[in-house]
Amino acid sequence: MAGLNVSSPAPALPWRAELDLEFALRGARTRLTAQRHCGPLLVQRPFHPEAGDVCHAYLIHPPAGIVGGDELNLAVTVQAGAQVLLTTPSATRFYRSTALVSQLAQQFMVADDATLEWLPQENLLFDAARARITTTVRLAPRARFIGWEILCLGRPACAEGFEHGTVDQRIALYRDGLPLLLERLRPPAGGALQSGGAGLRGHAACATLFATGADATHLDDARATLATLMQGLASATLLDDLLVCRLLAPHAAPLRTVCEKLWAALRPALLARDAHAPRIWST
């Protein structure tokens, strides 16, 4: 109709979400003693599914995806003597963005005689996503840590590549204020997935697993487990007592399977407890 002015709906505003958690030993068990959240980032009720004082907690992001301009900030403090296992119920999805960058910042502080197991499912980047992912772990001198980060560029199961997006992933581990490992991954879009291209050597997914308190025996055991990766490439390195395992594959599923095997082998050796997989992994 002449003269009718129909305005377009205003674009949705980016989410800013923050979650601060503190775990402490209370009696014979680790408890979630403090939590503060703002926006859509939550923790499910803590569980104690295994014998001993270990607390399992699942991090929940109700929107189930991160769009351009979203900022998610996670800060976790594990007090002296506490034992914590953190995981996520599903992959963290970064959706396409025309301009704005999606940011995920994760900070962990682990005190003396405390243990943190950080075992999230993969970060999945849709084509044209623009993501900045930062993980920082600060360990006291006698703290222990086992964790992994898994990244998948595009959606290989849907034959979708990663031709137009950007990703900047940074991982930093410190002990007593001194760096154990500082690394940055900025694979080029498109070229990273081409045979022989720079970045991921033609693979769409990568994973890095870290474990403190390791020695040459643990390195040999890790290499034996990595040999079970049927598709892709894998290696393990010992930096003083920090075990670093790196994996590449056409998609994320085999990486997660091998990371779970590594964790199951390392947990009894490094933390003196049987591998008790989180219930959410079976759902």
User: What are the angstrom distances between the C-alpha of 168 and each of 21, 47, 138, 267, 278?
Assistant: 25, 33, 20, 30, 29
Please write the tens of the pLDDT for every residue from 149-197.
999 998 877 777 888 889 999 999 999 999 999 999 987 665 455 433 4
CA atoms within 13 A on the CB side of 67: 8
How many CB atoms neighbour CB 51 within 10 A?
Answer: 9
Taking residue 201's Cβ as centre, other Cβ atoms within 10 Å add up to 16
Q: Which of 81-85, 94-98, 118-122, 139-143 has the lowest mean pLDDT?
A: 94-98
**Given pLDDT bands bounded at 50, 70 and 90, which one contains residue 214?**
very high
Q: Is residue 9 part of a domain?
A: no
Residue 11 lies in a domain: no
Give pLDDT tens digits for 150-160. 999 988 777 77
Is the residue at 182 inside a domain? yes
Instruction: State if pTM tops 0.75.
Output: yes
Residue 3 located in a structural domain: no
**Any domain includes 260:** yes
Question: Distance (Å, rounded) from C-alpha 152 to C-alpha 207?
Answer: 9
The Cα–Cα gap between 97 and 77 comes to 32
Model confidence pLDDT, tens digit, residues 264-283:
999 999 999 999 999 888 87
Whether the predicted pLDDT of 7 surpasses 70: no
Residue 12 confidence class, pLDDT cut points 50, 70, 90:
low
Mean pLDDT of the residues in the chain: 89
Of residues 199 and 136, more confidently modeled: 136
Question: Quick check: is 254 in a domain?
Answer: yes
Provide mean pLDDT across the span 128-138.
96
4 domain residue, yes or no = no
How many structural domains are present in the chain? 1
Is 10 a member of any domain? no
Residues 6+ away with beta carbon under 8 Å from 9? none
Domain extent, residue 162, equals 16-282
